[in-house]
């Protein structure tokens, strides 16, 4: 890894804006976001997300936790090789073996950061670390110094900072700064703080810690009380200049501060939040959809900025106002986040060039093989469905991005349903190249399909969610199916869309099953438990 300057200090003076007001956006979708129950991603999926984050102006991409598994190491290493603009970051506990592994993973980075952390709250030190405060303090210095052997760009985090005694937090932050950390992160690990309190905490650290003016303070707020974004912005008002966040706010438990909310709040309310970021906001919608489809985590309909209803006006009074002037009820333009009018696109006569142009307009860049596959499936869909909308194309392409590492695939399905039961499914799966067919009955056609899958691939996972929604209007709409499976410590999500609800159901179930199998193979429980 080449020596790098701290990203915060290297920000440029853009369009007359003052660098002192620049807020660095540190995206941890691929690390903290992946810690959402069921949100595990494969390497190609993570690369796809990282590529978009890099393109849209994310300053720092936290790509993983290299010591956690070979998969995480490989992911950080590969993103480090590929990122063109963003600093790539690897997480490490305060252990030398973690830090060395992160340093190794980041070697090819144009600009790499090691992010090392240790808990500082009484409850974490006593029960989780079983360490005395003085030993924690020593570990702070030792870990930061070790990380500085690999890069100039070191971030140190006080895990559970918001429940840490102030005097001790000040001592730890001072030690980290003295040892060479350029960024000091103050996580609200358990989503416990409130804006006023978090503001005062960041302000207190600025005022009391020697050397605080030489480093960048960072926020990292979890959303357990629904205040992650408000707390992060309070931190910025108190002087923090880095916000750690995730696309769609995914993350442990209730998630992290949502990147799109932080960025759009700063853009929209610049009168009271006079800061700026380097994010190309027109790519926000694309990032939201990509993360949602890859993780199979649906975005709640009324989610701020990227929810399906965020720009929809249903009531007569609102619609009337909107028709007279958009600013009556709209505080942001939908185009500013890359939301375009849903349009009727193409039919079965549309050719490759038109399809390619549409993909580009929707923000997709596919390699040749993926393009050919998407085009073939578009033609299949156009044979069955008269009107094809942008949403249909998005569902079709996103299906392709779903677990490319499929060990199990749905080859064919026939279902007998109706009033005269029992409902019966005949299913053929391909498992690592081998074909297997089974018949199964069930209480309804969906149950019959899932029973057929279980007959071919026996497993104990429990079906925790089965959800169907229509991608567009009309009785010929594609059905989008979400499936969540739970098994001991693992949860996995699967998503698929098809004109046939039962085919989409089978594919979504199999996708969740593939993820469960992959996750089982990769897991290193002792590391997961340490987080
Ligand atoms: O929430 C947290 O404290 C974290 C740390 C590892 C930064 O994610
Ligand atoms: Zn976190």
Ligand 1 atom having least distance to the Cα of 28? 8
Shared-domain flag, residues 173 and 197: yes
Q: Which of 265, 295, 325 is the last residue of a domain?
A: 295
* Same-domain status, 120 and 208: yes
In 72-121, at which residue ranges do the beta strands (DSSP E only) sit? 87-93, 112-119
Q: At what angle do helices 96-105 and 70-82 cross, to 10 degrees?
A: 40
Which residues make beta-bridge pairs with 276?
22
The residue written with tokens 């696109």 in the block is: 345
By the 10 Å C-beta count (0-12 exposed, 13-18 middle, 19+ buried), 37 is classed as middle
CATH at residue 452: 3.30.160.270
**How confident is the model at residue 426, as a pLDDT?**
98
262: CA distance to ligand 1 center in Å? 18
Burial of residue 168 (CB within 10 Å: 0-12, 13-18, 19+) is middle
333 and 346 co-located in one domain: no
CA–CA separation, 15 vs 65, rounded Å? 36
**Cα–Cα distance measured from residue 367 to residue 364, given in angstroms and rounded to the nearest whole number:** 10
Same domain, 123 and 210: yes
pLDDT, tens digit (0-9, with 9 covering 90-100), for 325-382: 777 778 999 999 998 765 556 777 888 888 888 888 777 778 888 899 889 989 988 8
The answer to whether position 356 is within a domain reads yes
pLDDT of residue 7: 43
Q: What is the pLDDT of residue 416?
A: 96
Q: Which string of DSSP letters, residue by residue, matches 183-221? A: EEEEEETTS---HHHHHHHHHHHHHHSTTGGGSEEEEEE
The reply to whether 2 falls in a domain is no
d(CA 423, CA 421) in angstroms, rounded, equals: 5
Q: 506 with 399: CB under 8 angstroms?
A: no
Tell me: do 325 and 361 sit in the same domain.
no
Report phi then psi at 156, rounded to 5: -120, 135
Residue 530, pLDDT score? 46
Residue 237 falls within a domain, yes or no? yes
Q: Indicate if ligand 1 lies below 6 Å from the C-beta of 220.
A: yes
> Residue 121 has what pLDDT?
98
Distance of alpha carbon 479 from alpha carbon 392, whole angstroms: 10
321 and 422 together in one domain: no
d(CA 324, CA 332): 16
Identify whether 16 is part of a domain.
no
How many whole angstroms from 301 Cα to the centroid of ligand 1?
28
Q: Which residue has the tokens 């923000």?
A: 363
What per-residue confidence (pLDDT) applies to 522?
62
Sheet with 423-431: list strands edge to edge.
Answer: 408-416, 423-431, 434-442
Q: Indicate the pTM of the whole model.
A: 0.83
How many angstroms separate the Cα of 150 from the Cα of each of 30, 44, 46?
22, 27, 24
- Structural domains of the chain, count: 4
Please provide residue 419's backbone torsions phi and psi, each rounded to the nearest 5 degrees: -75, -20
Residues 163 and 124 in one domain: yes
- C-alpha 257/C-alpha 62 separation (Å) is 15
Q: Which 8-state DSSP code applies to residue 256?
A: B
Inside any domain, residue 223: yes
CATH number, residue 102? 3.20.20.70
Question: Distance from CA of residue 271 to its chain's centroid?
Answer: 29
Instruction: Give CA–CA dist 365/81, Å, rounded.
Output: 20
Quick one: DSSP state of residue 106? T
Q: What is the pLDDT of residues 407-431, one digit of tens each?
A: 899 999 999 999 987 899 999 999 9
Tell me the β-bridge partners of 470.
Answer: 479
Sign of CA dihedral 17, 19, 21, 24: positive
Q: From 93, 155, 164, 189, give the residue whose CB has the most ligand 1 atoms within 8 Å, as the site to mutate.
A: 189
The tokens for 295 are 């993780």
What ligand has the least distance to the C-alpha of 189? Answer: 1
Pocket lining: 159 vs ligand 1, CB cutoff 6 Å: yes
Residue 99's alpha-carbon distances to 19, 34, 121, 424, in angstroms, are 31, 20, 22, 55
Q: Is residue 434 part of a domain?
A: yes
For 416, the domain range is: 408-528
pLDDT given for residue 177 in this prediction: 98
Closest residue by Cα to atom 5, ligand 1, is 159
Among 351, 385, 401, residue at a domain's last position: 401
Rounded to whole angstroms, how far apart are CA atoms 115 and 105? 13
Ligand nearest to the CA of 256: 2
Q: Is the CB of 155 under 6 A from ligand 1?
A: no
Residue 325 in any domain: the answer is yes
Strand ranges, E, within 32-147: 60-64, 87-93, 112-119
Q: Is the CB of 157 under 6 A from ligand 1?
A: yes
Q: Specify whether 354 is located in the same domain as 387.
A: yes
Ligand 1, closest atom to CA 91? Answer: 6
Q: Are 83 and 110 in contact (CB under 8 A)?
A: yes
Q: 260 with 360, same domain? A: no
86 forms beta bridges with none
The DSSP element (H or E) to which 483 belongs, if any, is: strand 479-487
- Single residue among 360, 385, 401 that ends a domain in this structure: 401
- 158 C-alpha to center of ligand 1: Å? 8
Query: CB–CB of 28/245 below 8 Å?
Result: yes
Point out the residues of the chain with pLDDT beneath 50.
Answer: 2-13, 525-531
Together in a domain, 52 and 66: yes
Residue 92 lies inside a defined structural domain of this protein: yes
- Do residues 321 and 383 both lie within one domain? no
For position 84, what pLDDT does the model report? Answer: 98
Annotate 102-122 with b (16+ C-beta within 10 A) or e (fewer): bbebbebbbbbbbbbbbbbbe
Phi and psi torsions of 280, nearest 5°: -85, 100
Which DSSP string corresponds to 412-469? EEEEE-STT--EEEEEEEEETTEEEEEEEEESSHHHHHHHHHHHHS----EEEEEEEE
Q: State the pLDDT at residue 287.
A: 94
Residues 186 and 220 reside in one and the same domain? yes
């Amino acid at each position: 890894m080449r020596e790098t300057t701290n990203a915060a200090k290297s920000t440029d003076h853009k369009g007359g804006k003052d660098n002192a007001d620049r807020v660095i956006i540190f995206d941890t979708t691929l690390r903290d976001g992946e810690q959402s129950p069921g949100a595990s991603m494969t390497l190609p999926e993570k690369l796809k997300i990282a590529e978009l984050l890099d393109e849209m102006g994310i300053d720092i991409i936290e790509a993983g936790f290299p010591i956690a598994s070979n998969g995480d190491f490989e992911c950080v290493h590969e993103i480090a090789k590929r990122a063109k603009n963003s600093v790539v970051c690897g997480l490490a506990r305060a252990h030398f073996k973690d830090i060395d592994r992160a340093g190794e993973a980041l070697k090819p980075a144009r600009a790499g950061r090691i992010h090392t952390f240790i808990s500082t709250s009484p409850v974490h030190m006593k029960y989780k670390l079983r360490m005395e405060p003085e030993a924690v303090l020593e570990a702070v210095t030792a870990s930061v110094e070790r990380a500085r052997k690999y890069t100039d760009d070191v971030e140190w985090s006080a895990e559970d900072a918001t429940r840490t005694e102030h005097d001790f937090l000040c001592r730890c932050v001072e030690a980290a700064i003295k040892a060479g950390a350029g960024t000091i992160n103050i996580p609200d690990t358990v989503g416990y703080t409130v804006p006023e309190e978090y503001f005062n905490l960041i302000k207190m650290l600025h005022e009391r810690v020697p050397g605080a003016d030489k480093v960048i303070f960072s926020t990292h707020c979890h959303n357990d009380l629904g205040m992650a974004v408000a707390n992060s912005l309070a931190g910025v008002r108190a002087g923090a200049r880095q916000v750690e966040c995730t696309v769609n706010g995914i993350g442990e438990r209730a998630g992290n501060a949502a990147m799109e909310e932080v960025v759009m709040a700063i853009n929209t309310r610049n009168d009271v939040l006079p800061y700026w970021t380097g994010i190309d906001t027109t790519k926000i919608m694309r990032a939201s959809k990509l993360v949602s489809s890859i993780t199979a985590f649906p975005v709640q309909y009324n989610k701020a900025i990227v929810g399906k209803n965020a720009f929809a006006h249903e009531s007569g009074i609102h619609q009337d106002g909107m028709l007279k002037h958009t600013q009556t009820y709209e505080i942001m333009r939908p185009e500013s986040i890359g939301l375009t009018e849903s349009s009727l696109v193409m039919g079965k006569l549309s050719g490759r060039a038109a399809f390619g142009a549409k993909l580009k307009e929707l923000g997709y860049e596919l390699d040749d093989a993926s393009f050919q596959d998407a085009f073939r499936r578009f033609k299949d869909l156009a044979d069955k469905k008269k009107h094809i909308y942008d949403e249909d194309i998005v569902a079709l392409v996103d299906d392709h991005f779903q677990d490319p590492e499929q060990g199990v695939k749905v080859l064919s399905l026939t279902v007998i349903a109706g009033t005269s039961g029992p409902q019966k499914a005949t299913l053929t799966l391909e498992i690592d190249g081998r074909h297997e067919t089974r018949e199964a009955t069930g209480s309804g056609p969906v149950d019959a399909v899932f029973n057929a899958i279980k007959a071919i691939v026996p497993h104990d996972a429990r079906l925790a969610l089965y959800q169907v929604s229509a991608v567009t209007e009309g009785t010929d709409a594609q059905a989008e199916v979400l499936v969540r499976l739970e098994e001991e410590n693992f949860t996995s999500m699967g998503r698929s869309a098809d004109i046939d609800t039962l085919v989409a159901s089978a594919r979504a179930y199999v996708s969740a099953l593939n993820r469960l199998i992959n996750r089982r193979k990769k897991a290193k429980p002792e590391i997961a438990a340490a987080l």
